[in-house]
Each structure stands twice: as C-alpha cells, then as structure tokens.
Amino acid sequence: MQINGDLLNKVKAAVGKNSTSYLEKILLASTEHGNFGMDLLDRLRNQLPATKCANCGQCCNSVSIYSLEYHRIVRDLMTRCSPERLHRFFVSAMRPDLRQADIGKEKRLRCVFRDEKSKVCLIHPVRPFACRIFGLLKEDGSRECDQVEDLNFPARAVSESELTELQTKILENSESYQVFENTEKIHFFPFEFWVFRHVFSPQRALQIYREVLTGMSTPLSQLWQKEIQLDPIQENNYEI
Ligand code: SF4
Ligand code: SF4
C-alpha cells in the first residue's frame, strides 16, 4: 500500500519544530482522562493466564490498542519517567518512519516500547491486551508462538468467546472512530494513532492512520484491503 510521503514529511517537520508543546498536550489529555477504567483493566488482566516467553522481540511491533489502554500507558509513564525520557518516547511515537522494519515477509512498525539493547518491554506491567493474549494456549492446543509457556500448571486454554467477552468490556469504555466511509467504527488503533489524536485532532490522526501508518504495516494494510478498495492518495493542500 502506498504511503503519503508529503503528509509524512509534514508530520516530521511539525514534530521537529513543536515536540515540546505536543508533549504537553499528550500529558494533559491523559491527566484529564484520570483514573477512569484503570481498575477495569487490572481486573481483566488478572483473568488471563500468566505466561513467560523467550523474549526474542519478534512480535514486538506496534499493536492496536484501545483508548483506555493508551491512557493507562501514558499515565504509567508519567509516574516514573523523567521529562527527557517522556519526550524521547513520544517523539519516537510521532516518527514512525524511524521504526520501520521488515519482519519475515511483512512490513512492520517496531513498538515504541521495545528496548532492543536490554531486550525488555519498557511498559511490561501495563502492556496492552493484544500483547498479553499473544501466545496463550488455545482450545485446539495450539499457540501463536510456541516459545510461550504458562507459569501455572496445568496450562489453561482460553477460548475465543472468553477473549471477546473481556475485550467487549474494554471497548465499551473506549473511544471509537470510523476510518473509511461505509466501514464500521472501530475501537483499536496503534499507539501512534492515539498520540496524534491528542496532538492534532481525531480527523488528522485518522488521515495519518489511513495514509501513513497503514502503509507501513502489512497487518493493517491487509485489514483494510479486505474491507475496502483503497483509493489512490489525493494531492494535499493542508497544513499541520
Ligand atoms: S511471544 Fe514469542 S515471538 Fe513474541 S517475544 Fe516472546 S518468544 Fe518472541
Ligand atoms: S508493549 Fe511491550 S510486549 Fe507489547 S509489543 Fe510493545 S514491547 Fe512488546
């Protein structure tokens, strides 16, 4: 899928110039969001089997998350990171071009929170649902990654309906947006989308999602190619 290079360049220039004021907006939005829904996330997390894995990092690519999870992550970072570190995280989130990678045959955006040096997830206690469910034992006995092991014995299989039920509770408390005309609203977007949603506006964030982020990620491209025939990118005359 094509990436709108003009839009990407405008985002890069705007971030280069205004990153400090963008960081203020991001932190203010999550401060104003408050604790709403944070207990719910903890309760749902505790219903999932605890696991460990080989921590190779191959699956640590930008995953789609709910707005509730986004605020949870930002609020966690605010409590334990210096202003300089916060600035680095969010500039990294707003510069997806610096995190592009080929994983196998797929184009992926590496996760902002994967520290390749220490090989750890920098937000492990508050990592999103999508990361927690990856590799859980399924009812047919398989796992998406065979390096994942349950910490409790015997391992408990998790059904699709159980996962859907848990996620329904999160999405009932999260924002949703329509990405393309004639498609249903969705609740899950990459961390980068939620950052742009608070820095610019939902409309601009949706445009960046459609015209930049989707083209950088094979799973996102596949998701939307299935739904619609994507139009070629139009000439733009906007300012960021
Ligand atoms: S779940 Fe699997 S692919 Fe992902 S980091 Fe762990 S071992 Fe690697
Ligand atoms: S949040 Fe953590 S576990 Fe999830 S993709 Fe990022 S680094 Fe990996």
Domain that holds residue 70: 5-223
The C-alpha atoms of residue 61 and residue 57 are separated, in whole angstroms, by 8
Which residue out of 77, 121, 136, 194 has the highest number of ligand 2 atoms within 8 Å of its CB and is therefore the one to mutate? 121
pLDDT of residue 230: 59
In a domain, 181, yes or no: yes
In a domain, 229, yes or no: no
In a domain, 239, yes or no: no
Domain count, the chain: 1
In a domain, 126, yes or no: yes
* Ligand approaching nearest to the C-alpha of 130: 2
Which residue's C-alpha comes closest to atom 4 of ligand 1?
59
Main-chain phi, psi angles of 45, to 5 degrees: -60, -40
In a domain, 68, yes or no: yes
Average per-residue pLDDT in the chain?
Answer: 94
In a domain, 13, yes or no: yes
**Angle (deg, nearest 10), helices 67-80 and 38-46:** 100
pLDDT of residue 240: 63
Which residue out of 51, 52, 53 has the highest number of ligand 1 atoms within 8 Å of its CB and is therefore the one to mutate? 53
In a domain, 93, yes or no: yes
Condensed to tens digits (0 to 9), the pLDDT of residues 2-47 reads 899 999 999 999 999 999 999 999 999 999 999 999 999 999 999 9
Sort 11 into a burial class: Cβ within 10 Å, 0-12 / 13-18 / 19+: buried
Cα-based distances in Å from 101 to 10, 110, 189: 21, 7, 19
Q: Model pTM?
A: 0.94
In a domain, 228, yes or no: no
- Does residue 70 have its Cβ closer than 6 Å to ligand 2? no
* Ligand approaching nearest to the C-alpha of 77: 2
pLDDT of 117 over the 80 cut: yes
